Chain A
């Protein structure tokens, strides 16, 4: 056991989302309050109860060379593009080893998805039934395995310290970032590339989520369908894409003179053990994660000026999160500008934690909280400072911290904290 606890910082950011093909265009969309939700005009959508989704703004298969794209599930394509952006943004000029400032044996990759290569699985099942056994692609297994995106990102940057894939449904992306923080903090790695990705816009997942009554069926108003904290919210809107960041030990970043976006303060994790899909309504499970965060990291709630809420736009889940925040932070919640960016990006499931980590980091970096759009009537039980309609400046001076909350089916709760350098 390495007794030294290393400080962790974020040096690179990358994303491909419904709002833009990279992190800059995504941030621009978030600050402008733009919705990425569109009608699904594919033929297969016609018979579905839900005919809206937040498709990625840039089709990854059109960006990657065709031979590479055809052997990567769409979730891995997103992860790879976001990872490349983050890696270059961190100032690395080649894969580890070729770029001598990073040792492959000290580099890890932790990229998660909630569902893995579900579209590959379903498409190959169609091939099996329609064209026969011989036509099933030999790339199917590496494309559908949930660790595929992480493994492909690891191959891209030459990560040899460990490649991991925590799976916790819609908390997966944040759990991946938390895992990466631990790898560096405990001395297993100097640098870790981490995040979340998802590509599940396909009739079967949509039918399944819709039949759970988890999705908004507001097909007539796609851009107004994702409305966290509004009294008329009626479920989430499915999104797709990836968010990936580069984390490294503060010493490693300092030695190579890297630009630091933020300190990765740490994470708090808990499990509800209440229901397989329903959130624990009093918020106790989430509160436990927040308490762990404060206890493990020494984070001072007085510093926390912004929260990227999980807030998927479901009636119960949105409020459980707010109850937990009030329970743990008390009056301090009143100075935390709370944003629900899923109102614009839709819900990227396992990609959400990755993309919302990127949004949280950019909010700290620019000292701006993005808006929550589509709140016409704020739920009277939402007794927190929700940033509505337009972006809002965060305190211009002094160190400030921000949280990214992610919760998943199965009762998984992950909260991440970041702080300006």
Chain B
């Protein structure tokens, strides 16, 4: 069953909270992972792997660099979820 954008953002909120310590509710669509959420390049890999598991998608390394904001990631997951 496909998840909604809202559910994805909530899931990313929990993931970012676990990895970077940012409150889950601060993880909003227009936030930048690097500039707003204390997610550096290594932690972004952790976020991606956790998101892959949670949402059942595969995010190749080459696509990770395009995921600058929470919206980028949510849209990517929406589009690619099986």
Give the CA-CA distance A134 to B48 in the complex, in Å.
10
B46 located at the interface, meaning its Cβ lies under 8 Å from any Cβ of chain A in the complex: yes
Give the CA-CA distance A67 to B40 in the complex, in Å.
12
Per a CB cutoff under 8 Å, which of A65, A71, A134, A135 touches B42? A71
Give the CA-CA distance A138 to B45 in the complex, in Å.
7
Q: Judging by beta carbons under 8 Å apart, are B21 and A135 in contact?
A: no
Q: Judging by beta carbons under 8 Å apart, are B21 and A138 in contact?
A: no
Look across to chain B and name the residue whose beta carbon is closest to the beta carbon of A65.
B21
Additional 11 contacts, C-beta under 8 A, given A71-B43, A139-B46: A66-B21, A67-B20, A67-B21, A67-B43, A71-B42, A134-B52, A135-B49, A138-B42, A138-B46, A139-B42, A142-B42
Look across to chain B and name the residue whose beta carbon is closest to the beta carbon of A135.
B49
CB distance from B66 to the nearest CB of A (A): 18
Interface residues of A in 61-85 (CB under 8 A from B): 65-67, 70-71
13 CB < 8 A contacts A-B: A65-B21, A66-B21, A67-B20, A67-B21, A70-B19, A71-B43, A135-B49, A138-B42, A138-B43, A138-B45, A138-B46, A139-B46, A142-B42
Which label, helix, strand, loop or mixed, suits the secondary structure of the A interface? Answer: loop
A297 located at the interface, meaning its Cβ lies under 8 Å from any Cβ of chain B in the complex: no
Give the CA-CA distance A70 to B43 in the complex, in Å.
10
**Which of A67, A71, A134, A135 has the largest number of chain B CB atoms within 10 A?**
A67
Interface residues of B in 41-82 (CB under 8 A from A): 42-43, 45-46, 49, 52
Per-residue 0/1 for A128-146: is the Cβ within 8 Å of any B Cβ (1 yes, 0 no)? 0000001101110010000
Chain B residues positioned under 8 Å from A70 (CB to CB): 19
Give the CA-CA distance A390 to B10 in the complex, in Å.
59
Give the CA-CA distance A142 to B41 in the complex, in Å.
13
Look across to chain A and name the residue whose beta carbon is closest to the beta carbon of B45.
A138
Q: A67-B38, A71-B42, A139-B42 are in contact. Are A134 and B49 (CB under 8 A)?
A: yes
Chain A residues positioned under 8 Å from B45 (CB to CB): 138
Chain A residues positioned under 8 Å from B21 (CB to CB): 65-67
Interface size class of A (residues with CB under 8 A): 10 to 19
Give the CA-CA distance A67 to B22 in the complex, in Å.
9
Give the CA-CA distance A142 to B43 in the complex, in Å.
13
Chain A residues positioned under 8 Å from B20 (CB to CB): 67
Interface residues of A in 117-166 (CB under 8 A from B): 134-135, 137-139, 142
Give the CA-CA distance A223 to B46 in the complex, in Å.
42
CB distance from A176 to the nearest CB of B (A): 27
Per-residue 0/1 for B21-51: is the Cβ within 8 Å of any A Cβ (1 yes, 0 no)? 1000000000000000010001101100100
Chain B residues positioned under 8 Å from A65 (CB to CB): 21
Look across to chain A and name the residue whose beta carbon is closest to the beta carbon of B52.
A134
Chain B residues positioned under 8 Å from A142 (CB to CB): 42
Q: Judging by beta carbons under 8 Å apart, are A137 and B46 in contact?
A: yes
Give the CA-CA distance A66 to B22 in the complex, in Å.
11
Look across to chain A and name the residue whose beta carbon is closest to the beta carbon of B50.
A135
Give the CA-CA distance A137 to B44 in the complex, in Å.
11
Chain B residues positioned under 8 Å from A137 (CB to CB): 46
Give the CA-CA distance A242 to B20 in the complex, in Å.
26
Look across to chain A and name the residue whose beta carbon is closest to the beta carbon of B22.
A67
CB distance from B78 to the nearest CB of A (A): 22
Give the CA-CA distance A139 to B49 in the complex, in Å.
13
Give the CA-CA distance A135 to B45 in the complex, in Å.
10
Look across to chain A and name the residue whose beta carbon is closest to the beta carbon of B58.
A134
Look across to chain B and name the residue whose beta carbon is closest to the beta carbon of A142.
B42
Chain B residues positioned under 8 Å from A138 (CB to CB): 42-43, 45-46
Closest 7 A/B residue pairs (Cβ): A67-B21, A138-B45, A138-B42, A67-B20, A139-B42, A134-B49, A66-B21
Chain A residues positioned under 8 Å from B43 (CB to CB): 67, 71, 138
Per a CB cutoff under 8 Å, which of A67, A134, A135 touches B19? A67
Give the CA-CA distance A67 to B49 in the complex, in Å.
16
CB distance from A123 to the nearest CB of B (A): 15
Give the CA-CA distance A220 to B19 in the complex, in Å.
41
CB distance from B12 to the nearest CB of A (A): 16
Per-residue 0/1 for A50-68: is the Cβ within 8 Å of any B Cβ (1 yes, 0 no)? 0000000000000001110
Give the CA-CA distance A265 to B19 in the complex, in Å.
45
CB distance from A154 to the nearest CB of B (A): 18
Give the CA-CA distance A325 to B12 in the complex, in Å.
62
Give the CA-CA distance A142 to B45 in the complex, in Å.
15
Give the CA-CA distance A139 to B41 in the complex, in Å.
10
Look across to chain B and name the residue whose beta carbon is closest to the beta carbon of A66.
B21
Look across to chain A and name the residue whose beta carbon is closest to the beta carbon of B42.
A138
Chain B residues positioned under 8 Å from A71 (CB to CB): 42-43
Chain A residues positioned under 8 Å from B42 (CB to CB): 71, 138-139, 142
Give the CA-CA distance A225 to B43 in the complex, in Å.
43
